[in-house]
């Protein structure tokens, strides 16, 4: 559909749906990546037409390592960051043109690492259509897990506007959980940053400014060696999530928390390893798994070691 054609249909449907339930929150369809030729212009036209009846604009993004370019792959979150900034800027520009104080949120309703260019399981043909055929069962590596953790950091950093986000998918099909038909189940590498972030991220995302050297990537340009975000909750706990994109050297993470009060305890968990392409299998489900990390209090700051190619969570209890 053209953006105008879609927008007219979406507007009509939204009006009818709100006649049935005025409290519905509605999502207009956005772009599947900032690489699309229509990106930006699609969002502008759709929101110009549907501004008064929608609450969200959607975004989709999938990332994969291409042609052995690990450095670019590890910087995938910089692309997601620019994608979100572009959608926000476009939505706010439409709002300014309409003299509206309304803020359109983003529903990042598909995101993951997905090897679209990798040969996949053969599709059933003819009359042979089994129940739950094994399709798109990517086997994820340590590097994939670090990228997933980094994408979560970016989503949290934009929590003021990204108010819904859905990992696609959950089990078997590009999923963090794998199963055998009628048999075993195990956690893929990507399970760990997703599960730990979901469990420990606080209810308030703190504005986090990261100051690290950059490195040059072929696909995404300049990217910082470290990305990080901090969250806080009413239980007096700060949780810091950080990724070291450097594949050869550790980095020191120093976070100033003096304004939040005295530090009572610090605990770190790290996902790392010597082989970027290590995977978990049914026979070896814990090849890539979280382990205790290194972190300490230093006055009003927290200092943690981020191993090369790693995702790290630091939990800080305040006195």
pTM: 0.95
pLDDT in tens, 234-243: 878 999 999 9
Per the DSSP assignment, residues forming a β-bridge with 295 are 304
Q: How confident is the model at residue 127 (pLDDT cuts 50, 70, 90)?
A: confident
The pLDDT of 15-39, averaged and rounded, is: 96
C-alpha 203/C-alpha 216 separation (Å) is: 34
> Do 117 and 97 form a contact (C-beta atoms < 8 A)?
no
Burial of 240 (0-12, 13-18, 19+ CB in 10 A): buried
Q: Which domain holds residue 66?
A: 55-318
The pLDDT of 14-40, averaged and rounded, is: 96
The pLDDT of 251-279, averaged and rounded, is: 96
pLDDT in tens, 78-123: 999 999 999 999 999 999 999 999 999 999 999 999 998 887 777 7
Has residue 7 been placed in a domain? no
Has residue 46 been placed in a domain? no
Number of other residues whose CB lies within 10 A of the CB of residue 256: 11
Its sign, for the CA torsion 44, 47, 51, 55, is negative
Has residue 33 been placed in a domain? no
At residue 52, the pLDDT reads 96
Q: Measuring CA to CA, which residue among 255, 239, 228, 167 is closest to residue 203? A: 239
At residue 122, the pLDDT reads 75
Has residue 200 been placed in a domain? yes
| CATH number, residue 65 | 2.60.40.1180
pLDDT at 126 exceeding the cut of 80: no
- What percentage of the chain exceeds 90 in pLDDT? 90
Has residue 182 been placed in a domain? yes
Has residue 196 been placed in a domain? yes
Instruction: Kindly report the backbone phi and psi dihedral angles of residue 237, in degrees, each rounded to the nearest multiple of 5, phi listed first.
Output: -125, 135
pLDDT at 129 exceeding the cut of 80: no
> Which long-range contacts (C-beta less than 8 Å, at least 24 apart) are formed by 81-88?
81/154, 81/157, 81/158, 82/34, 83/33, 83/34, 83/59, 84/59, 84/108, 84/154, 84/158, 84/161, 84/162, 86/34, 86/39, 86/40, 87/30, 87/31, 87/43, 87/57, 87/59, 88/158, 88/161
At residue 182, the pLDDT reads 87
If one counts the domains in the chain, the total is 1
pLDDT at 63 exceeding the cut of 90: yes
At residue 121, the pLDDT reads 72
At residue 131, the pLDDT reads 79
């Amino acid at each position: 559909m053209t953006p105008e054609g879609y927008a007219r249909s979406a507007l009509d449907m939204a009006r009818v749906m709100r006649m049935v339930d005025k409290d519905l929150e509605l999502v207009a369809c956005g772009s599947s990546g900032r690489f699309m030729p229509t990106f930006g212009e699609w969002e502008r036209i759709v929101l110009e037409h549907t501004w008064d009846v929608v609450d969200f604009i959607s975004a989709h993004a999938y990332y994969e390592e291409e042609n052995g370019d690990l450095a670019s792959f590890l910087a995938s979150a910089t692309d997601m960051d620019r994608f979100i900034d572009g959608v926000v800027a476009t939505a706010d520009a439409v709002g300014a043109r309409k003299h509206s104080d309304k803020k359109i949120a983003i529903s990042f309703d598909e995101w993951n690492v997905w090897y679209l260019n990798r040969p996949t399981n053969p599709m059933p043909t003819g009359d042979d259509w089994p129940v739950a055929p094994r399709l798109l069962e990517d086997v994820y590596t340590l590097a994939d897990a670090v990228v997933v953790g980094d994408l979560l950091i970016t989503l949290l950093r934009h929590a003021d506007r990204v108010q819904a986000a859905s990992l696609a998918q959950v089990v078997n099909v590009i999923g963090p959980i794998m199963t055998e038909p009628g048999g075993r189940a195990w956690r893929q590498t990507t399970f760990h940053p997703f599960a730990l972030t979901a469990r420990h991220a606080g209810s308030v995302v703190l504005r986090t400014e990261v100051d690290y050297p950059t490195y040059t990537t072929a696909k995404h340009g300049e990217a910082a060696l470290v990305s990080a975000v901090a969250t806080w909750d009413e239980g007096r706990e700060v949780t810091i999530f950080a990724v070291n994109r450097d594949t050869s050297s550790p980095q020191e993470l120093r976070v100033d928390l003096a304004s939040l009060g005295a530090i009572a305890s610090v605990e770190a968990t790290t996902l790392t390893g010597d082989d970027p392409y290590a995977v978990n299998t049914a026979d070896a489900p814990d090849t890539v798994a979280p382990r205790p990390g290194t972190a300490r209090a230093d006055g009003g700051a927290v200092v943690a070691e981020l191993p090369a190619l790693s995702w790290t969570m630091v939990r800080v209890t305040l006195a």
